[in-house]
Structure 1
């Protein structure tokens, strides 16, 4: 049996963690109709890639479409033709919506909050329009841990973005199939597979507490390499990863 290359080992690890997340947290079921949030970043491209592989397996049997949301008043841009080809070459229909928000309507909220809120609103609306019951987002383990720390330090709450979240006011469930993936692995996987980078990155991406928390957590991991797993286990034991 030939030895696997470094890139093949990484691919195998990522696929294994993806499958484990699906089974451990019951993320995909027979008959699901899924809408995938496709921002154009490495994480959402990886999500499309992995879900497309899963579609080829008989069980569970489900369907999926992708949605890219363009925010007209934010200098954050992706190559739409690339995203369309990337999705549809993998058997996933590509949809795009262009919208915008008025940052003057509520000066108490940051542009990041308003942008995220409006994107989420469009995602929910399109999912229901298409008759979807699941929305898949590309958040990975680092995102979930950083959110936990932000909520703890700035809100005084031990909570996070759940791996599976059933919405109360609409027949939708949000799932995060990349929840067991580490960002460094996804970054290398994207390089190995020549994913195209976004044309312009968000101008506000370094202006939030999230970037500060990310730096802080890197220092914590220098002190304890198992820190992320300690946080994850605490979230799991306290029932914070699934919200019905």
Structure 2
């Protein structure tokens, strides 16, 4: 049967999307040294579109990779009510992929410990991470691959900025706090919208999260909505945020542990007065009224420009 022009165009677009995702994943792996010769990679497969895409793209890259490495899909069955436990095993067997299904009733723990109406994601995430880390040690995995994408990195950055007063995000490559695990995020350069289209095209058996993902008013949901609004109003803004994560300039921030501001423009080697010395003088009228010292604030053009950008 002859393919119609519309079908040919769709096939071309599908091919282009798959090629773009492979290129972005390959670029992230190369940029951050995510996978090396002899690695045993645990691909955490939740059943969502992101982890399905992660496994699919890694399998494609593995076939032509410049190094030999092993992939094993691992799913954690958290015993959520209605979880379709046969879906992923059947899918993975059909693919011919090595896999393990872990079983741990974290659902009951979360339901018991977290008060009704409170956010369950944090505890759920910690329990899930603990189970996966333990399995990684037992099975000798050298890397743990997660399905976080570009939009996740941007949303985490905004969450840390707005709710936790720090500049931090999800790094594409991470050493766990105990130093025993290397976590990688090969989808770090991939847009969520591209992943959603790709998952639909590939017909992955998607398993929705009905525990954490269904809760409203989460900090992450707020950040995601803000990013979506920005991207609609100014396409490319999310890309700019993620690019900024790779262009950090300590001398233009205010973290004294990253940049020696005391040494900047220093004209003498004499010891500088400390905070107590600067605040030990006569209090101003406003100091006495409010009971606190009033900091001196710079009003340079650079600061004004920064404020105008943030308020725009």
Query: 166, 183, 201: which one pairs with 1:192?
Result: 201
Counterparts of 2:18 and 2:72 in 1: how far apart (Å)?
Answer: 23
Which deviations, in whole Å up to 9, do the C-alpha atoms of 1:41-81 show, x marking residues without a partner?
A: 01111111111122222522111211111112x3472x443
Asked if the contact 2:45–2:73 (Cα under 8 Å) also holds between the matched residues in 1, the reply is yes
Counterparts of 1:190 and 1:182 in 2: how far apart (Å)?
Answer: 12
Query: 212, 221, 232: which one pairs with 1:204?
Result: 212
Asked if the contact 1:75–1:203 (Cα under 8 Å) also holds between the matched residues in 2, the reply is no
Counterparts of 1:30 and 1:227 in 2: how far apart (Å)?
Answer: 36
Change in CA separation of 1:164 and 1:113 when aligned onto 2, cut-off 3 Å: same
Q: 2:229 aligns to what?
A: 219
SS in structure 1 at match of 2:36: coil
Is there any run of 5+ residues in structure 1 with no aligned partner, and where? 240-244
Asked if the contact 1:39–1:69 (Cα under 8 Å) also holds between the matched residues in 2, the reply is yes
From the CA coordinates, give the structure whose radius of gyration is larger.
Answer: 2
Query: 176, 201, 206: which one pairs with 1:167?
Result: 176
Q: 5 Å matches for 1:50-199?
A: 50-72=57-79, 74-75=80-81, 77=83, 79-101=84-106, 102-103=109-110, 104-105=112-113, 110-198=119-207
- Tell me which moved more, 97-106 or 133-142: 97-106
Change in CA separation of 1:19 and 1:88 when aligned onto 2, cut-off 3 Å: farther
Query: Which structure's residues are more often strand, by fraction?
Result: 1
Ranked by relative contact order (alpha carbons within 8 Å, sequence separation 6 or more), the top structure is 1
Is there any run of 5+ residues in structure 2 with no aligned partner, and where? 1-7, 250-312
Counterparts of 1:76 and 1:167 in 2: how far apart (Å)?
Answer: 32
TM-score by length of 2: 0.70
Change in CA separation of 1:204 and 1:169 when aligned onto 2, cut-off 3 Å: closer
Which deviations, in whole Å up to 9, do the C-alpha atoms of 1:157-200 show, x marking residues without a partner?
A: 110111000124143100000111101101110111111221x5
TM-score by length of 1: 0.88
Aligned-CA RMSD value? 2.2
Which deviations, in whole Å up to 9, do the C-alpha atoms of 1:114-158 show, x marking residues without a partner?
A: 111111001100011110110000001011111111111000111
